Structure 1
Amino acid sequence: MTTFALVHGAWHGAWCWERLVPELEALGHRAIAIDLPIEDPSASFDDYADAVCEAVVDQPRDDLVVVGHSLGGLTVPLVAARRPMRHLVYLCALTPIPGQPFVQQMREDAAMLNADYPKGLGPKDALGRRAWVDNELAAFHLFGDCDDATISAAVARLRPQALNPYGVPCSLRTFPDVACTYVVCAEDRMVNPDWSRAMARDRLGAEIVEMPGSHSPFLSRPKELASILARRT
């Protein structure tokens, strides 16, 4: 039995994995969905990594696969630098540049993200956080191949994302030496699939797996995603 540690991205929470967890369990595995302190303006990506490590502290090396979705891709290599694991999976994920703050990467790499997504976000609140205020744009960018009921339920649970972590230089000196896979969703409307392919190849040296669908396959295609993840065990 493998334990999958599931690390969500910006605006989400552990809830987003609720359809994937039973699919992994049906294949004989265990899944731990972790809530990151994304609303805390004082928390950094290193604090996010600490939360993941605390959640899996009792898991042996050979039984642990860590999965990071979207902005969670900035957290999961920090986890791999802190503790051993069997495999690291980037799912429609962003990735850090060691020593560089993410805000610099956002300024310099125009191909990384869909340039229109900020139109759906409100201004920073008093704590320096941004939240989705346009539900249609949230649906388009985050849940493009989900049905209406799934979209409504998911959008209602989105949380504000603190921007402080974006300005903190990545604490990695180099990427950890762990086998990794990058899962590209071909119709992703948030993280550019062409960017994902090139980055996974050139920056991570990762195995690249492609699947259909948009940015949130854990909601739209959980059975197919579980099958892909189970093959990393």
Structure 2
Amino acid sequence: MGSAFGCMPKEDLTGGMGSRSKRGSKSRSQRKMAASEEELLHRQALAMAIQQHQLSQRFEGSMSRRIGSTSSRRRDLPDSITNGKQQPLILEDLETRKIILVHGEGFGAWCWYKIISLLEEVGLNPVALDLRGSGIDNTDPNSITTLADYSKPLTDYLHNLLDDEKVILVGHSCGGASISYAMECYPKKISKAVFLTATMVLDGQKPFDVFSEELASADVFLKESQFLVYGNGSDNPPTGLMFDKQHIKSGLYFNQSPPKDIALATVSMRTIPLEPIMEKLSLTPENYGMVRRFFIQTLDDRMLSPDVQEKLVRENPPHGIYKIKGSDHCPFFSKPQSLYKILLEIAQLP
């Protein structure tokens, strides 16, 4: 049905891995320099998350986030995207260079900082958006009651594109519902849609339905969940969902991610608006069905198990399937190089 993407060598862009020769192949000063670069990168990401140091670009009222320096990353360019002379690949004849990165539940644009840097390195134009009530968007998550409202930064961005301009959408986890909604609204402005271990739902299905087999039915979940937030008071229906720091650290999302990225998530994740993920989507063949879809499976995922991911692609077959071995639910942290190579391959498909 599509090409499978095998396991990449285990890597960590933060510099935390790599062999150490007993003979000292790297000088102590070089190691200190690498450590300093690593610390600087994470300081920048953390500062963004807590709004002490913000690097943002605005587009007609929607917020995009860009983090990290690309000037020092040339040496990390993977062999698979270089030609025989080991020169950086020149990307030509692309339908679009613009890749819109849509975060999942509780996350924000900040989570894409590694992928943004890698995509920019080869001349692509990544734009990471904060959905409403996420990242540094100041909307109260408990006030968001529809998927249309939650996804408004994305649909506003697409609405303001030039008539002949197209983008590639990438949606992570529950961000799959937002890009599905956008595909229904603006199919002619979307070249391809990439579902990254995401809620690739069918017409009439709720995003929550994707997780219900593992968590419980919606009714049981709403009665028993200890993670529910009652923004309108305990006498009213729940308005949000929030994992506390201990659950974030427990490995549900980050069983393969570097500790510093887990720390970043711990201080950055916000309440998840509940009603948008309980809303049934209306998707038509004439709109949603006209956009080519690709699904990226993460094979060490504890949040959305490989079995559930297989069920998603079986029930709603995409145009292509890729797999990342050794990745948890957040490959932008745990396997950034592998994820980047897949996105690059998809961008080059005619």
TM range (shorter): 0.7 to 0.9
Give me the whole-angstrom Cα distance separating, in 2, the residues matched to 1:86 and 1:181: 11
Q: Does 1:18 align with 2:113?
A: yes
Please say which of residues 155-164 and 47-56 is displaced more in the overlay. Answer: 47-56
When residues 120 and 3 of structure 1 are mapped into structure 2, their CA distance, relative to the original with a 3 A threshold, is farther
| 1:130-185 Cα shifts (integer Å, max 9, x gaps) | 21114245441111111212211112101001111133321324542111110001
Q: Which amino acid counterpart does residue 240 of structure 2 have in structure 1? A: R
Q: 2:176 aligns with which of 43, 52, 73?
A: 73
Structure ranking higher on relative contact order (CA contacts 8 Å, 6+ apart): 1
Name the counterpart of 1:210.
323
Aligned residue pairs total 227
When residues 148 and 60 of structure 1 are mapped into structure 2, their CA distance, relative to the original with a 3 A threshold, is farther
- Cα drift, residue 18 of structure 1: 1.1
Q: Does 1:94 align with 2:186?
A: no
Please say which of residues 212-221 and 118-127 is displaced more in the overlay. Answer: 118-127
SS at match of 2:290: coil
- Cα drift, residue 230 of structure 1: 1.0
When residues 136 and 40 of structure 1 are mapped into structure 2, their CA distance, relative to the original with a 3 A threshold, is closer
- Cα drift, residue 50 of structure 1: 3.1
Give me the whole-angstrom Cα distance separating, in 1, the residues matched to 2:250 and 2:197: 16
Name the counterpart of 2:281.
170
Name the counterpart of 2:31.
none
Give me the whole-angstrom Cα distance separating, in 1, the residues matched to 2:132 and 2:145: 7
Q: Does 1:31 align with 2:122?
A: no
**Structure 2: runs of 5+ lacking an equivalent:** 1-95, 134-140, 233-238
Give me the whole-angstrom Cα distance separating, in 2, the residues matched to 1:50 and 1:22: 25
Would you say the 8 A contact 1:77–1:176 is kept in 2? no
Name the counterpart of 2:333.
219
Would you say the 8 A contact 1:114–1:192 is kept in 2? no
- Cα drift, residue 23 of structure 1: 0.5
Would you say the 8 A contact 2:105–2:173 is kept in 1? yes
- TM-score for the superposition, normalised by structure 1: 0.86
Q: Which has the larger radius of gyration?
A: 2
Would you say the 8 A contact 1:41–1:129 is kept in 2? no
Q: How does 1:1-233 map to 2 (within 5 A)?
A: 2-38=97-133, 39-56=141-158, 57-58=160-161, 63-83=166-186, 84=188, 85-103=190-208, 105=209, 109-110=212-213, 113=214, 122-127=227-232, 128-174=239-285, 175-212=288-325, 213-233=327-347
When residues 209 and 72 of structure 1 are mapped into structure 2, their CA distance, relative to the original with a 3 A threshold, is same
When residues 146 and 101 of structure 1 are mapped into structure 2, their CA distance, relative to the original with a 3 A threshold, is closer
**Structure 1: runs of 5+ lacking an equivalent:** none
When residues 106 and 2 of structure 1 are mapped into structure 2, their CA distance, relative to the original with a 3 A threshold, is closer
- Identity across matched positions, percent: 23
| 1:174-216 Cα shifts (integer Å, max 9, x gaps) | 5421111100011011011122123113313331100121010
Would you say the 8 A contact 2:150–2:276 is kept in 1? no
